[in-house]
Structure 1
Amino acid sequence: MTFEVVELMADGLKIEPRDALSRLLRDEKSDSCFRLNHYPPCPELQALGGRNLIGFGEHTDPQIISVLRSNNTSGLQICLRDKTWVSVPPDQTSFFINVGDALQVMTNGRLRSVRHRVLAESMRSRVSMIYFGGPPLNEKIAPLASLMAKGEESLYEEFTWWEYKTSAYKSRLGDYRLGLFEKKTGGAAGQ
């Protein structure tokens, strides 16, 4: 399903070849992984008078794409451009797609990774399953040539997926990790 989603994205953006993104996820050396998260209920939240308790802190996903499915328990929130946090209604029959930092670079900012977090729930467990679609470690991450308009400059310096991951491990979860790779001359690409 993820391969088809990124190929549909490629169609919409007129990226050539159509499998420019999916081939990175299909590669036998792909750095993709699957994770299962469990957020147990937090009954002590009621004693906190409605205050939020973070289950997983705010961040963007670093990979190309993330595909998430969860049980019918709330908690997932996204951050809008005005810094307002909005709850994503739970839907155990749907998949949620997140653009990752790598795809933001590959589209030269046309698609943006979304800052998100998970809040703890007082009475119900939240379970989420996430497929993180990452390229091979040696893959060079840069805007795709077929996507760049004539004369358009890259907002980012080219880097390998390994270089990005190495720098990300040295940062805090909520840090804007693409800032290290933004070109200093071409205007702000960041958040």
Structure 2
Amino acid sequence: MISEGLGLEQGYFDKGLCEEGNLSVNHYPACPDPTLTWGAGEHNDPGLMTILHQDQVEGLQFFNNDGNWTLIEPNPNAFVVIVGSLLQVVSNGKLKSAKHRVVTNATKDRTTLGFFNEPKKDRTVGPAKALLSSGNPPICEPVQFGDLIKAVVAAFTGVKE
């Protein structure tokens, strides 16, 4: 559905961009003084998208266009779909990678399940050719996905390899 919404052929992402799937279970213990620690500092996910299931404890925040952090109310009957850096590259900027973070809760533990969809690290990725034109040049050069991961991690940690 996303490929078609972008104007790409049906199944575009099946051609080497969805080779890896990783499931991550994250547990954030309660912290009596949440100002002392982050659950996860601000970052963008490197892959195509993240599909996240939250329990009923608040903590996920997105950086909005007004320059503020917006809390995402948890709904145990729904998933949060987060656009990753790779989807921003492939869509040539039509879709923006979502900067987000997790804050701790003073009284309750929080657990999430995240499914990350991405290509193999040695796959070269770039903007979809069908989205490019003289009026819409590429926003970036093709890059090996492993290098994109390193760039996203370096932006998150401030540490470069």
Equivalent residue runs for 1:127-166 within 5 Å: 127-166=111-150
Contact 1:64-1:133 within 8 A present in 2 as well? yes
How well do the aligned residues superpose, as a CA RMSD in angstroms? 2.1
Bigger mean CA offset, 72-81 vs 135-144:
135-144
Give the gaps of 5 or more residues in structure 2: none
Aligned position for 2:99: 115
Aligned position for 2:60: 76
Contact 2:45-2:97 within 8 A present in 1 as well? yes
Contact 2:88-2:96 within 8 A present in 1 as well? yes
Give the gaps of 5 or more residues in structure 1: 1-7, 46-50, 178-191
State the alpha-carbon separation in 2 of the partners of residues 77 and 44 from structure 1. 18
Aligned position for 1:183: none
Identify if the C-alpha distance between structure 1 residues 23 and 158 changes in structure 2 by more than 3 Å, giving closer, same or farther. Answer: closer
Confirm or deny that 1:42 pairs with 2:31.
yes
- Percent identity, aligned pairs only, is 27
Q: How many residues align?
A: 159
Structure with greater contact order relative to length (CA < 8 Å, sep ≥ 6):
2
Give, as a single letter, the amino acid of the residue that structure 2 aligns with 1:82: D
SS for the counterpart of 2:89 is: helix
Which has the larger helix fraction?
1
- TM-score, with length taken from structure 2: 0.89
CA drift of 1:56 comes to 0.7
Give, as a single letter, the amino acid of the residue that structure 1 aligns with 2:95: L
Which has the larger strand fraction?
2
Aligned position for 2:12: 20
Identify if the C-alpha distance between structure 1 residues 109 and 98 changes in structure 2 by more than 3 Å, giving closer, same or farther. Answer: same
Could you list the per-position Cα deviations for residues 150-185 of structure 1 after superposition, in whole angstroms to 9, with x for gaps in the alignment?
54210101111122224444x14166x9xxxxxxxx
- TM-score, with length taken from structure 1: 0.76
Give, as a single letter, the amino acid of the residue that structure 2 aligns with 1:40: P
Contact 1:31-1:137 within 8 A present in 2 as well? no
Compare CA radii of gyration and give the structure with the larger one.
Answer: 1
Aligned position for 2:74: 90
Give, as a single letter, the amino acid of the residue that structure 1 aligns with 2:96: R
